[in-house]
Chains A and B, each alone.
Chain A
Amino acid sequence: MNMDNNTKRNEPWREELRKSIKNKERADKSRVHMRELPADYRNKNNEEVNCGLTKEEALNEAKRCLDCPAPSCTNGCPVGIDIPQFVKNIERGEILEAAKIIKQTSALPAVCSRVCPQEKQCEAECIYAQKMGKEAVAIGYLERFAADYERESGQMAVPECAPSNGIKVAAVGSGPAGLAFASDMAKRGYSVTVFEALHEIGGVLKYGIPEFRLPNSIIDVEIEMLKKLGVEIVTNCIVGKTITFEDLQAQGYKALFVGSGAGLPRFMNIPGENLIGVMSSNEYLTRINLMGALRDGDTPVLSGKNVAIIGGGNTAMDAVRTAKRLGAEHAMIVYRRSEAEMPARIEEIKHAKEEGVEFMPLHNPIEYIGDEKGRVKQMRLQKMELGEPDASGRRSPVEIPGAIETIDVDTVIVSIGVSPNPLVPSSIKDLSVSKWGTITVNDGMQSSVPTIFAGGDIVRGGATVILAMGDGRRAAAAMDEYLKSC
């Protein structure tokens, strides 16, 4: 914790607030539950499932926070939000002030509060969870409340920016990493341009995460905020193809941040995987989320009665819940390990189950069978059991000899992970990449080419929105240092 936070904690209003309720009384309150749309209603439409907190609920939940002298929650946040400071502002009813504090370090609070796995980050570090065996303060819910409250108030504050220093820098990719980078550099006085290959801004937030988890209108408001900071955004421009790194240098860009993501979908290379109706989760979700398939877009999508999603991550949950909403009678998760090993958030698994998704753990597809037109009609599944823990520490799935079953499917969504997209790395000379194709960087997210920084999935492989944003922030800090020393 730095001096700044200490000073803030000693402000009279905060001291008074701490004294107003006894710690024991605070700790005896139970954690708020966020209202959700009923499962049999929401699984037929695209409305956001989680409804947010009322002001009363938020104020009450904020009272649970003990305003610890050395708050560990902040350490669990990849972008380092001053959590007690914003939570205490909610407690005293200064919601707009709370929103302002979050925005000092987070570029997209309404987005992050919805998609971060808080149970593994800030909330995992909360003293309630760490030391007291109680449910953590609902930091994510409170962040969402503050961000939504500010947006709906129509009084969104533009974060303060340092005076322009006239130095041009560029970000490649407008996903969470690129946007966090752009926001931080703009605040530091740089003139920032973000180059995006697609026709829409937001990366995975737009093409991947569905409306029922993260409404596009909310992302757009936060992107508008970046434009107010002076960030310029160029869509339909692929760095390395439309414009080269050398072109950018010639145009006066002093440094570049690569946040191009890990968009390349993996397939299993099993027979029948190229049949019609078998597709990657990226294709399925892009057609639906980005292109508006089956809504008002010209883009079509294949979706049927019996839809199997292969995989157990968050993307798999997004795809299966989407399939259910598109009218699948059987929307199935097929996963080779047991449910305990699924990488998806517990909340997503719970939501999927409530919505009628069928779970088939310990099954692995070995072949797809098609009809005379080449459309998939069945899949052959190998049943598995759990063996010894593997390198990842998870118990590895082992085939049960001869235990094979055949199931009817008309659509299969392969969601077994992504690899880094080589498009940008391969277009930059002398850039070192790992054997997995990720860009190699130092602690300051600086690559082997001193003026090129990188972060997010292009450095980590498939990870989370907030880790990408944290990388963007760190890269901005390090790039600022680097450019000042030049």
Chain B
Amino acid sequence: MNKILKKEHFSPNVLHFEVEAPQIAKTRKAGHFVLVKVGEKGERIPLTIAASDPVKGSISLVVQRVGVSSAKLCDLNEGDYITDLVGPLGKATHIENYGTVVCAGGGVGVAPLLPIVEAMKKAGNRVITVLAARSKDLVILEEQMRANSDEVIVMTDDGSYGKQGLVTAGIEEVLLREKVDMCVTVGPAIMMKFVALLTKKYNVPTMASLNTIMVDGTGMCGACRITVGGKIKFVCVDGPEFDAHEVDFDEMQMRLNSYKEIETEAMKHYIETAAI
């Protein structure tokens, strides 16, 4: 059982939790994730570790309220316990001094990007971070990103903050002006797909951190499988990071919708019963 030490809202539907997990706080690296289960009958859902404090023995998780399982987690309060939490899972991000690195994140994907930005900076890279959100109040972790980046470009769909446009516009601005050695992207599948198409055009190697459906997270079931370079890979053990130019994002997007109808129905039911 892992105690929730701190809970705060980043935006109405995006929450930040600091959770007691001393062993994980010690061993985790950038790119690692955990699986979380709320309640005895709960579902196991993957969440990337956004930060950790080995001294305090805690890890940070950023959760977007989208379905029943994330809602159950978001409804927990400080002092409550998460029934099951296991990790760190996946392969750590490959960090080295590439030169200039563009780190691009969208939506709640900005949270898993934070430890990568920190590690890239620490490895001596010049780090340019592009943050994207639908509107101003959905921009998260900007301050932490600025503290670890040489430059931060904020993009909003509606132009309410930073520059108006998609994440790709922000990246292209950098690509047109200077030589970029590596790009890292985390966000919705559709966003990563367009980032990959753009950087392919400019011949910039690109890593994408994928978020697929998972059950066990240890390679046991293959629910998270995707096609990379024509081969089946399991995101939980082979990833979550892959060469973005090799990933079949359309297939990934399709597979993410496997349970869409069931999930929508379950969420409707959850909201109705919670209202009573």
Q: Does chain A have a CB within 8 A of B97?
A: no
How would you classify the secondary structure of chain B's contact residues: helix, strand, loop or mixed?
A: mixed
22 sample A-B contacts, Cβ–Cβ < 8 Å, listed by A number? A199-B44, A199-B83, A207-B220, A236-B84, A238-B89, A242-B27, A242-B87, A243-B23, A263-B218, A264-B220, A265-B220, A273-B232, A274-B227, A274-B251, A276-B257, A282-B221, A286-B216, A291-B215, A374-B254, A374-B257, A422-B219, A423-B219
Within 8 A of B (CB), among A419-446: 421-423
Q: Does chain B have a CB within 8 A of A292?
A: yes
How many chain-B residues does the 8 Å CB contact rule pick out? 42
A5 / chain B contacts, CB cutoff of 8 Å = none
Which of B87, B221, B259 interacts with A283 by CB under 8 Å?
B221
B43 to chain A, nearest CB (A): 4
Q: Identify 11 new A-B residue pairs, CB closer than 8 A, beyond the known A241-B88, A244-B27, A291-B44.
A: A197-B216, A197-B218, A236-B84, A238-B86, A242-B27, A243-B27, A274-B251, A276-B258, A282-B220, A286-B221, A374-B255
B86 x A197 contact (CB < 8 A): yes
B88 / chain A contacts, CB cutoff of 8 Å = 241-242
Within 8 A of A (CB), among B234-276: 234, 237, 251, 254-255, 257-259, 262-263, 266
Within 8 A of A (CB), among B205-238: 215-216, 218-223, 225-227, 232, 234, 237
Q: Does chain A have a CB within 8 A of B196?
A: no
Which of A198, A244, A300 interacts with B262 by CB under 8 Å?
A300
B92 to chain A, nearest CB (A): 11
Which of B37, B218, B255 interacts with A276 by CB under 8 Å?
B255
B26 to chain A, nearest CB (A): 9
Q: Does chain A have a CB within 8 A of B129?
A: no
A269 x B87 contact (CB < 8 A): no
- Which residue in chain B gives the minimum CB-CB distance to A260? B218
Complex formed: what's the CA distance from A237 to B21 in Å?
11
B43 x A291 contact (CB < 8 A): yes
Question: Which 5 residue pairs spanning A and B have beta carbons closest together?
Answer: A283-B221, A263-B220, A374-B254, A298-B43, A236-B86
Binary B-proximity of A267-279 (CB < 8 A = 1, otherwise 0): 1010001101101
Q: Does chain B have a CB within 8 A of A287?
A: yes
A199 x B86 contact (CB < 8 A): yes
A267 / chain B contacts, CB cutoff of 8 Å = 222, 225, 232
The size class of the interface chain A forms with chain B is 35 or more
Q: Does chain A have a CB within 8 A of B154?
A: no
Complex formed: what's the CA distance from A302 to B54 in Å?
40
A274 x B41 contact (CB < 8 A): no
A89 / chain B contacts, CB cutoff of 8 Å = none
Q: Does chain B have a CB within 8 A of A373?
A: yes
Which of A236, A263, A282 interacts with B85 by CB under 8 Å?
A236
In the complex where A242-B87, A280-B222, A286-B215 touch, is A274 in contact with B255 (Cβ < 8 A)?
Answer: yes
In the complex where A244-B27, A287-B215, A299-B43 touch, is A280 in contact with B84 (Cβ < 8 A)?
Answer: no
B36 to chain A, nearest CB (A): 10
Within 8 A of A (CB), among B48-88: 68-69, 72, 83-88
Within 8 A of B (CB), among A224-283: 235-238, 241-244, 263-265, 267, 269, 273-274, 276-277, 279-280, 282-283
- Which residue in chain B gives the minimum CB-CB distance to A265? B222
B223 / chain A contacts, CB cutoff of 8 Å = 279, 283
B233 to chain A, nearest CB (A): 11
Q: Does chain B have a CB within 8 A of A297?
A: yes
A280 x B43 contact (CB < 8 A): no
Interface centre among B41, B216, B257 (most CB of A within 10 A): B216
Complex formed: what's the CA distance from A265 to B222 in Å?
7
Q: Does chain A have a CB within 8 A of B101?
A: no
B216 / chain A contacts, CB cutoff of 8 Å = 197-198, 263, 286
A237 x B220 contact (CB < 8 A): no
Q: Does chain A have a CB within 8 A of B195?
A: no
Complex formed: what's the CA distance from A199 to B35 in Å?
10
